[in-house]
Amino acid sequence: MIARFFSWVRENRRAAYDLIGLFLITIITYYFFGLFNITEAFFALTRKIEGLQIDELILFSATLLPFYLAIFAIRRWSESAKRLRQANTDSLTGLFNRRKGREIIEREIRRAVRYDRPLSIIMLDLDHFKDINDRNGHLAGDRVLRSVAQTLQDQMRNTDILMRWGGEEFIVISVETEEVEARRLAERLRAALVASPPQNNVRPTGSFGITQLQDDDTFDSFLRRVDDKLYEAKSSGRNKVV
């Protein structure tokens, strides 16, 4: 939870700086109110002005200002978070999009190399998806993609990261995972697609490629190898894991 919070702060630095600055200003304001007895000074001043009774108003205004600024900063933070989600999320499936996916993969590669930990990747492509669009239309194809995304998401472990890589292609990043374990996950995903309820009389299947990060891998070599495995699954009959 704490790690996710700080990750979020890094991605929303401007809004986070606003809130931190506002928090510090509020603390300093109330510190000086107490240090110099400003509240008592307000009361003493207003008592001399008979009939106006503005002491409560001044104190209320001085107290209200930091809270007003806090609400303003929180709204700005919320808007910034919403824009960030829109930039990082595929609007159709709600999964991470390719832009955010690349960032995640590069981050996990660096982490795996630094700590000498296993990292595996699964790439899957829906079989004959163009035929689904041609026969039933693109709206039906969209419903199939949303259904597939939900089916896959239901099979994910807490540490797995699912993203839509583009079109009918998806990627799963399996951190702390050897290839043999990633293969079991891929087989479970493949079986879940086969067993899923049909959409528009269509029950899609998928072809899966798997690979594990190697010592000399870069982002490009890692993705190229899993893409080759996916092509092998496609060319050898589809609806299989390679």
One domain for residues 138 and 73 = no
pLDDT at res. 153: 94
Number of domains, the chain: 2
Residue 240 within any structural domain of the chain: no
One domain for residues 134 and 210 = yes
The residues pairing with 121 across neighbouring beta strands, listed in sequence order, are 173, 211
pLDDT at res. 138: 86
One domain for residues 220 and 109 = yes
**Chunked mean pLDDT (size 10), the chain, 242 residues:** 57 62 67 62 54 53 62 67 74 93 95 96 95 86 93 93 95 96 96 88 90 95 97 95 96
One domain for residues 183 and 210 = yes
One domain for residues 109 and 227 = yes
Residue 6, CA distances (Å) to 10, 16, 36, 76, 183 in order: 6, 10, 36, 18, 32
One domain for residues 167 and 48 = no
One domain for residues 79 and 130 = no
Q: Where does a domain end: 26, 58, 88?
A: 88
pLDDT at res. 182: 96
Residue 44 within any structural domain of the chain: yes
One domain for residues 114 and 178 = yes
One domain for residues 163 and 203 = yes
Which residues constitute the domain of residue 126?
Answer: 98-235
One domain for residues 31 and 112 = no
Q: Where does a domain end: 88, 113, 142?
A: 88
The residue from 168, 176, 181, 187 that is catalytic is 168
Angle at 10 between CA 4 and CA 12, to 5 degrees: 100
DSSP letters spanning 45-90:
HHHTSTTT--HHHHHHHHHHHHHHHHHHHHHHHHHHHHHHHHHHB-
pLDDT at res. 76: 66
- Our answer to whether residue 50 is catalytic in this structure is no
* pTM over the 0.85 mark: no
pLDDT at res. 137: 86
One domain for residues 112 and 32 = no
* 147-151: long-range pairs with CB below 8 Å, 24+: 147/196, 147/197, 147/199, 148/193, 148/196, 148/204, 148/206, 149/93, 149/94, 149/95, 151/192, 151/193, 151/196
Q: What is the CATH number of the domain that holds 217?
A: 3.30.70.270
